[in-house]
Amino acid sequence: MQRIEEFLTKIVGLGNTIFWDYILIYLLIGAGIYFTLRSNFVQLRLFPDMFRVLRDEADEMSGKRGTNSFQAFSISIASRVGTGNLTGVALAVAVGGPGAVFWMWVIAFIGMATAFIESTLAQVYKIPDKDGFRGGPAYYIEKALGQKWMAILFSLLIMISFGLIFNAVQANTISMAMEEAFDLDPVWTGIVLVILTSLIIFGGINRIAVVSGTLVPIMAIVYILVALYVVAINIGEVPGIFLTILTHAFGIEQVIGGSVGVAIMQGIKRGLFSNEAGMGSAPNAAATAGVNHPAKQGLVQSLAVFFDTIVICSCTAFSILLFEEYREVAEDGIQLTQAAFSAHIGAWASIYIAIVIFLLAFSSVIGNYYYGESNVDYLKSRGPWKTIYRLAVLGMVMFGSLASIDIVWSMADLFMALMAVVNLIAILLIGNVAFAVLKDYTRQRKQGVDPTFHISNVPGLKNVEWWGAQDKRKE
């Protein structure tokens, strides 16, 4: 195990340079601002519509097919809500200070526009399959850009990143939480995770959707309620926490000391790992939805970013910052979050957090797996490849349970940056398609009708397999 970690550390060290960090920052912020302005602040203007669409059970024009809006939302949330919300926030605060929280908010706000664009594109260029639909960046890169090599590159990156590396991160967090709460040997945690994961991932997208739609809402609501209780019992200190976050994000002392740069870097990297806006992962879930207009899933996935970072990550951040001794805790990551909650509501909180992180992170494992599987189908839908990939996923779940926190997060940072760079370049080049689809959606909403998409509404739209087929059937 030690030799494997040493080998991976060398590999990660070769690629995980400050160059990729700055490329990621400039692209994320630049793309987010561009999409926000070009969409006329879609994340604010259509915020009420996001909730309305989430309740919408609209089916495709050919009849009931695919997952509904809430199930697609749950699959993406299953991947978003997990270690990034509890461990990632703790790491950001421990390394970047309170100011990192502000930059997580910033990247989430502009990321809502980015999430709208990439998920709308995924809906436009989705294709039907035996389970309903599949799609994502690989599909819109090939169909809209005509760059097959770039699509293959992205597929390989997301298969490695989500199915393998990010699942090692989720397993690592579960293992640490269980060891802290129950003194449980990581080996046993890994074995249990492998067994549970295998039961789900061999069941297909429908089982993944059902499990995600059950686990995520329940555990997220429970976690938010407890975190709000922590804030409520410390309500008098909340204004001071806001001030601390803002002063550390822009304070003169932090500028002189150079810690503002660290705060920005940590806030953006941990914010991206948490909400995944622009990374190209959530579009794989968005493409599965059976809606009658692509913009609907764009709005739903934009709401998922808000829910993930502005709501859940803030709950974790406030709980940690309201813990006066958070700087003195030797551990970071999930164990810092456990220590903070224990200080607020008692020793039982460590066990509570362990259970929450187990369920949330486990739901992330199966959500992450689906993103990888979707791209296995893109590359090679037949033969033993899917089974081989599933076994590799289970192997990385076991590895993550036993590995050190540093190696799994370093691997995640590197592949997250590579994947985001490829996807952001693609959606910047084809974003006009999403803007045209959004314009069509808002035009129909102003007319007081439930928006229904036809490719004729967007002149020049090509290589659109599903929506084009629906229009031909109507002719």
Task: Taking residues 391-405, report their average pLDDT.
Answer: 87
Average pLDDT over residues 211-227: 72
Question: What pLDDT is recorded for position 43?
Answer: 96
Q: Is the pLDDT of residue 184 over 50?
A: yes
pLDDT at 385 over 70: yes
pLDDT of residue 58: 44
Q: Is the pLDDT of residue 303 over 80?
A: yes
- Give residue 254's pLDDT: 46
Q: How many CA atoms lie within 13 A of 159 on its CB side?
A: 22
Residue 214 reports pLDDT greater than 80? no
Q: Tell me whether strands 127-129 and 132-134 are parallel, antiparallel or unpaired.
A: antiparallel
What would the two tokens of residue 348 be? 């039982």
Nearest to 348 by CA among 218, 320, 356: 356
Distance (Å, whole) CA 429 – CA 273: 23
Q: Which residue has the higher pLDDT, 472 or 22?
A: 22
Residue 208 clears pLDDT 80, i.e. is over it? no
Residue 415 above 60 pLDDT?
yes
Pick the residue with more confidence: 65 or 359? 359
Among 11-25, 114-128, 149-163, the range with the most confident prediction by mean pLDDT is 114-128
Of 13-17, 69-73, 162-166, where does mean pLDDT reach its minimum? 13-17
Residue-level pLDDT at 59:
46
The CATH H-level superfamily of 2-474 is Amino acid/polyamine transporter I (1.20.1740.10)
CA nearest 349: which of 223, 241, 183?
223
- For the stretch 94-152, pLDDT in tens is 777 788 888 888 888 999 999 999 999 999 999 988 778 889 999 999 999 999 999 99
Specify the amino acid at residue 191.
I
Confidence (pLDDT) at 472: 56
Of the pLDDT bands very low, low, confident and very high (cuts 50, 70, 90), residue 471 is: low
pLDDT value at residue 6: 53
Q: What mean pLDDT do residues 42-62 have?
A: 77
- pLDDT, residue 367, reads 77
Calculate the alpha carbon distances from 178 to 169, 174, 181, 193, 317 in Å. Answer: 14, 6, 5, 12, 21
- Confidence band for 62, pLDDT divided at 50, 70 and 90: very low
Mean pLDDT of 5-27: 59
User: Bigger pLDDT: 399 or 224?
Assistant: 399
Write down the pLDDT at residue 85: 72
Which of 153-162, 374-383, 394-403 bottoms out in mean pLDDT, i.e. has the lowest? 374-383
Q: What is the mean pLDDT of the chain?
A: 80
Give the pLDDT score at 67: 64
pLDDT at 265: 64
pLDDT digits (tens, 9 = 90+) for 328-341: 665 556 677 778 88
At 60 the pLDDT is 46
| In the chain, where the domains are located | 2-474
How high is the pLDDT of residue 361?
A: 77
pLDDT tier at 178 (50, 70, 90 boundaries)? confident
Compute the distance between CA of residue 317 and CA of residue 88 in angstroms, rounded to an integer: 10
Question: Distance between CA atoms of 388 and 370, rounded to whole angstroms?
Answer: 14
321 vs 248, residue with greater confidence: 321
Task: Write the CA distances from 292 to 58, 318, 367, 431, integer angstroms.
Answer: 6, 39, 24, 20
5-9, 217-221, 370-374 — most confident range: 370-374
pLDDT at 473 over 60: no
Calculate mean pLDDT across residues 45-54.
Answer: 91
pTM given for the model: 0.82
Predicted pLDDT of residue 187: 92
Asked if pLDDT for residue 194 goes beyond 80, the answer is yes
